[in-house]
Amino acid sequence: MDRATTPTRPAGRPRSSVDATVFAATLDTVHQLGYAHATVDRIAAAAGVAKTTIYRRWPSKGALITACLVDAFGPAPLTGASREEIMSTAIRWIAAKIGEPGIGAAFAGVFTDAVNDPALRQLLSAQLQDPYQLALQEALGEPEKRVLFFIDVVVGTLLHRMGMTGEPMDDADVDALVEMVLLTLR
């Protein structure tokens, strides 16, 4: 196991750097078994790590999944010559991400858990939604309320399709979604 090498290393045994391994095992397990059956025990086993090690890093399953999604999404590509192009690129990017194996199910699952867990809802909002919302606000020059509305529309639509069919939205419908949002953005 490789180690975390910090400039000022504190005393004691250093934490083994297992984040990447655990994230990969998490997505893999969710992909294969679904969110509900992807227990922390199974994720730990798949990562070759003890369950206690996971709970030392993330305080709950929801927090683990959230961190995993933040890692998987990375920064949004808010590129384009116009606001329309930026919005179009962003929608297609999130649609593609949600279509990746494990990510859509993990997203729908943690969202679902968050509905009845205010602490998790706040975490999800702060870690996953706020950064993209702020970046979009900046890139589009739209007020917060309007950007939040667009996020509800795009992410809600994609997750609803994923939840009802078990499959990510096909390209034709993603095109329709882009078109619909652009008509309103203009």
Binding residues (CB under 7 A) for DNA: these are 3, 9-16, 18, 36-41, 48-53, 55-56, 59-62
Q: Does 68 bind a copy of itself (CB under 8 A)?
A: no
Residue type, 44: A
CB of 90 within 8 A of CB of 76? yes
Stretch binding a copy of itself (CB under 8 A), from 46-54, 63-71, 89-97, 146-154: 146-154
The token pair that represents 42 in the structure block:
């199974």
With contact defined as beta carbons under 8 Å apart, do 84 and 143 qualify? no
Answer for which of 16, 50, 160, 167 binds a copy of itself (CB under 8 A) is 160
Token pair recorded at residue 1: 């196991």
114 touches, from DNA, a copy of itself, none (C-beta below 5 to 8 Å by class): a copy of itself
* Distant-in-sequence, close-in-space partners of 128: CB < 8 Å, separation ≥ 6: 66, 69, 70, 73
Distance of closest approach, residue 119 Cβ to DNA, in angstroms: 9
Which of a copy of itself, DNA, none is residue 164 near (CB under 5 to 8 Å by kind)?
A: a copy of itself
Where do runs of H (alpha helix) occur along 48-143? Answer: 51-57, 61-73, 83-99, 103-114, 118-124, 130-140
Nearer to DNA, 3 or 160 (CB): 3
Closest CA to 130 of 49, 45, 66: 66
- Say which entry of a copy of itself, DNA, none residue 173 contacts (CB below 5 to 8 A, set by partner kind): a copy of itself
Q: Which member of 24, 76, 142, 149 binds a copy of itself (CB under 8 A)?
A: 149
Q: What is the DSSP letter of 142?
A: -
75 binds, among DNA, a copy of itself, none (CB under 5 to 8 A by kind): none
Dihedral of the alpha carbons of 45, 48, 52, 55, in degrees to the nearest 10: -90
Whole-angstrom distance, CA of residue 165 vs CA of residue 168: 8
The yes or no reply on residue 39 touching a copy of itself (CB under 8 A) is: no
Residues within the interface to a copy of itself (CB under 8 A): 34-37, 105, 108-109, 111-118, 121, 124-125, 129, 145, 149, 151-153, 155-164, 166, 169, 173, 176-177, 179-181, 183-184
